[in-house]
Every structure is written in C-alpha cells, then in structure tokens.
Amino acid sequence: MIGFLFASLALLVTGLAGAQAPDTALPEPIAALEDRGASIGETFDAPGGLTGYTVSFQGQTLTAYVTDDQRHVLVGTLLDADGTNLSEPILSAAANAPRPPSEWDAVADAGWIADGSDSAERVIYAFTDPNCPYCSRFYDQTRDWVQAGAVQIRHVMVGVLREDSLGKAATLLAADDPAAALADHEARFDSGGRPPADSIPASSEARVEANNALMTRLGIRGTPSVYYRDDNGDIRLARGLPRGERLVEVMGGARPE
C-alpha cells in the first residue's frame, strides 16, 4: 500500500483522533465528520484492516477509511503497491447509485414554481435558471406531458448564470400566478424573457439565494438538473438537458399523443 492522497475533507479530519460522538453505529471519527457537515454513504470492505465509507462534502464524493482501532480516519484515494487506484471503482459505483431520500426532501422544501396539474401522477423537480437556454429547451420539450396532465414539473428557481438571474428568478417566484409568469417568460425567452421587477420582495430573493445554496450543497453545477424517480421508485438525478431515452425516463413514459 503506497498511501493516501488527501482531498478537500483533509481539513475536517484534523483533530478527529479520539473524537467523542453520541451513541451511534458509526465509528467515532466518521460520526465526527458527519457532525461537521459531511453526508455519510455506504460502507465497503477495504484492505489492510481498514473499513471504507463513501463521504459527500460540498458536492464532492470521496472515500474515507477508518483504521482498525476505529479511532482514526483517512480521507482520499487509496492506492495499492502497483499504484492501482482502489477508490475509483467505489466512487464510480457511488456516482451511479440512487440519490438519498434526504435530497428529494430538500428540493421538495425549496422555493419552486409548479408547472402542471396538482393532480398529476408524476412529480419531478428541476433546478432552473431564468437565463439558461437549456432550461428553456427543457421547458419547451416537456409541454406534451405537462399539458396532458401526466407530469407536474416543480422548477426550483435559481439565479447563478448572469447578474440579473437572481432578480428574474425572484420576480417569477413573487408573481401572483408564478406558473403563468414562467410560461410568459419562456414564450419571450429569445428576447430576454421577463426582466427583474423594479421592486422584489426580500422574501423572494431570500428563497432564490437559499435555492442557490441548496444547489451548491447538493453538488449541482449546471442547469437544468432534474430529480425524478425511476421505474423502481429510486431517486435519480439527470444532470443537464435530458435527451432521447433519458427524457422519456425522466418524464415517466413516452410522449403523450
């Protein structure tokens, strides 16, 4: 074993030896990472008497390895004597794994605009920036499902792309009829859409800022990014504009006729 290459959680690890944690099934240093804001994923077998965990922090998923005495944790990449990266297949599997229910709950509690019927059988959540051309394309290409009453898209409004994105997003959220305002914005997207209002409620701006922070916390770097449930009911995240079969999967079935 050559050693460990430490990544962005290295600062969190400092001082964890001997850390005290409340009564928990997690080893104390892993529980201490959780207390410091990391999300703890699955455990896995590791060589050399180590126990591995996947750990997510500030949008990055890393591997963490607890020593045999359960008192210390190393975070980063594990290499063997041949230089083989033993962490990479673990991280690849984690990237393709279903998203945790806590992420679904977080987007459900965010500031969003309901696009479609409240009685729609299927609900999905899309991080949407009002200046994002791919968000606009996603809006256009989902009309058949929405207008048929099959899907409700809850647009989690963010303002990250341009200087006026936050103002536009907050203006749409504050509208008397947010869904109609979003539709009007999309109809005028090529000419700039709806501009920010002269007076925007502070509460609406705060909701967009909270959505921006949520996007960062979930490790989402682009819009649209869409949370949905697959055929097994597992929570999935489509990063970027869904196309072709992925769009059909996101929307829960073929385009209504």
Domain closes at, from 78, 97, 116: 97
Phi, psi of 255 (to 5 degrees): -60, 130
Q: So what's the pLDDT on residue 56?
A: 77
**Whether residue 148 sits in one domain with residue 36:** no
Residue 256 lies in a domain: no
Which element (helix H / strand E) includes 68? none
What is the number of structural domains in the chain? Answer: 2
The pTM of this model reads 0.72
Same domain flag for 28 and 132? no
Within-domain flag for 178: yes
Who's near 250: CB < 8 A, 6+ residues apart? 124, 226, 228, 238, 242
- Indicate if 77 and 113 belong to the same structural domain: no
Look at residue 48 and tell me if it is in a domain. yes
The answer on 115 and 73 residing in a single domain is no
> For all residues of the chain together, what is the average pLDDT?
87
CATH code, domain with 65: 3.10.450.70
Tell me 8's DSSP state. T
Q: What was the pLDDT predicted at 61? A: 81
Do 208 and 116 have their domain in common?
yes
> Over 50: is that where the pLDDT of 160 sits?
yes
Whether residue 129 sits in one domain with residue 23:
no
The Cα-based distances of 148 to 152, 183, 231, 255 in angstroms read 10, 16, 20, 10
Is the pLDDT higher at 47 or at 11? 47
CA distance 9 to 6: 7
| Domain, as residue range, for 60 | 3-97
Alpha carbon distance 212, 116 (integer Å): 23
Q: Are 82 and 109 within one domain?
A: no
